[in-house]
Structure 1
Amino acid sequence: MSHIPAGHPPVKPPKVGVLVANLGTPDGYDYWSMRRYLSEFLSDKRVIDYPSWKWQPLLQLIILSKRPFTSGANYKLIWNHDKGESPLMTITKDQTAALQAALPEVMVDFAMRYGNPSTKSKVGAMVEAGCEKILFVPLYPQYAGATSATANDAFFAALMKEVRQPAARVMPEYFEHPMYLQSLAASVTEAYAALDDKPEVLVASYHGMPKRYLMQGDPYHCQCQKTTRLLRETLGWDEGSIHTTFQSVFGPEEWLKPYTVEHVAELAKQGKRHIAVMAPAFSADCIETLEEINGEIREAFLHAGGEKFTYIPCLNDRPDHIAALAQAIRENLTGWI
């Protein structure tokens, strides 16, 4: 720094940045906040890959004239009114603070793929702060084009806007990491220990995707199946004790099956009195877990004759989850710190 000539732009001490990314959240549950968020989300070709000339008129003129009202009502049910934000935002902030405490040698921040804070704004802030190296961490245990890949797209697009591009790495999916699996298993063990009677079946419900994506080579389905198997083995349970299902079906085409809402109803009809449901594809509780699983899917089971439904929360900012993420991040920072 002592060799910088007079008049040279200021040079900040070099840093290493870790930018964690989650799916996103609307700024509010009012109509226009929901419409902006849903328009950005459902216009992503990684999420809905129909031709724009066919999809956009349907989306903008029909779907977004109604869906913001229903989605907004669902968000209102789970909204963190004290902080004026969605649970996903609250939890992601808590995760980021915990990771920063666990990784004091780097700068840790977070971004959302859709909504705020945007990936572009956070990459810019990290570069401005002096980060010459950035590890991008999509908070998705399993890889999918509609989650991990689109988050990476936004990260790389943000780098294109920087005059001085930092060196960049992307942390891959981490569903096989031993510490992640131990945390996932511990969440089940602790939930079961708090119950008076043990559930007869544990349902691992993953976010769905069109079956067509699987046939095109997306590894998500296979990684979900493997996650369930590795979780079962970590718990030491017998085969068949955990069922893999898929939720959040959207549109007319066939999605990955079995559908969670149908499967839990069938379990009730088979005489299962008590089931537990968890969501191993989500790193933080959100609308799909707090409202869909603990609302719609719970109701489907009880309406079909089930008696007791236990939802096991996502790993969120559990200390063992933060430790697992921090360890995976350290492994991907090798040679940088």
Structure 2
Amino acid sequence: MKMKWQPYIRTVPAYFDHPDYIQALANSVQEAYDGFSTRPTKLVASYHGVPERYLMEGDPYHCQCQKTTRLLREKLGFSKEEVDTAFQSQFGPEKWVGPQTVKHVAELAEQGHKHIAIMSPAFSSDCVETLEEIEEEIRDSFMEAGGETFSYIPCLNDRDDHIDALLAVINNELAGWLSAP
């Protein structure tokens, strides 16, 4: 705020619906499904939760998550019944957007979905939340409710198609800022 000369700032917009990103997600799901001995009856796309108040105040994140799941489902050719959206990492006294992943997977097991796969599309790389929360707390919730096969599909991490998607987003945003060689 004390600078007399303000630098140019350009931010990268959310890329939740970028075609290359959706394709990378679809590739990761398809590769995982190809390796499963039992096909999951449900794919759960679990996103980081936010208080419901954010949605009511106009924050687009919840809608962006829903769109990512829809685009992924369509890219995979899965039916609406095969893919759910849920939200993890809720804490504090406020009401959060739902359904809550840890409860949702238990309900799925109780409804007869004994084989599920879960992924975290909003995380670009695996971290404590994806590795500990999903692989322990959420897995335990599903198994204790009668689930049989819980398959975690890793985040995109350093997959080539993920890096290519990020480069496409970055190159688009740099257009007009960098001159051609």
Which range, TM-score by smaller chain? over 0.9
| d(CA) in 2 for partners of 1:162, 1:290 | 42
Aligned twin of 2:157 = 316
| 1:161, distance to aligned residue in structure 2 (A) | 6.3
Structure number with the bigger relative contact order (C-alpha 8 A, sep ≥ 6) is 2
| 1:304, distance to aligned residue in structure 2 (A) | 0.7
Change (3 A) 1:260 1:161: farther
Matched position secondary structure for 1:206: strand
1:251 pairs with 84, 92, 102, which one?
A: 92
| d(CA) in 1 for partners of 2:93, 2:32 | 36
Q: How does 1:74-93 map to 2 (within 5 A)?
A: none
Q: Does 1:187 align with 2:34?
A: no
Q: Given the two structures, how large is their TM-score scaled by the length of structure 2?
A: 0.95
More deviation, 161-170/327-336: 161-170
Identity among equivalent pairs (%): 63
Q: Given the two structures, how large is their TM-score scaled by the length of structure 1?
A: 0.52
| 1:322, distance to aligned residue in structure 2 (A) | 0.3
2:79 pairs with 214, 217, 238, which one?
A: 238
**Unaligned ranges ≥5, structure 2:** none
Q: Which runs of 4+ in 1 moved over 6 A?
A: none
| 1:253, distance to aligned residue in structure 2 (A) | 1.8
Equivalenced residues, count: 178
2:57 pairs with 212, 216, 224, which one?
A: 216
Matched position secondary structure for 1:244: strand
| d(CA) in 2 for partners of 1:240, 1:269 | 16
- 1:137-160 Cα offsets, whole Å, 9 max, x none, are xxxxxxxxxxxxxxxxxxxxxxx4
| d(CA) in 2 for partners of 1:321, 1:278 | 15
Q: Does 1:175 align with 2:6?
A: no
CA RMSD of aligned residues (A): 1.2
Aligned twin of 1:283 = 124
Q: Looking at CA atoms only, which structure, 1 or 2, has the larger radius of gyration?
A: 1
Change (3 A) 1:163 1:191: farther
| 1:181, distance to aligned residue in structure 2 (A) | 0.4
**Unaligned ranges ≥5, structure 1:** 1-159
| 1:284, distance to aligned residue in structure 2 (A) | 1.0
| 1:166, distance to aligned residue in structure 2 (A) | 2.9
Q: Does 1:335 align with 2:153?
A: no
- 1:252-281 Cα offsets, whole Å, 9 max, x none, are 121001100000001111111110000011
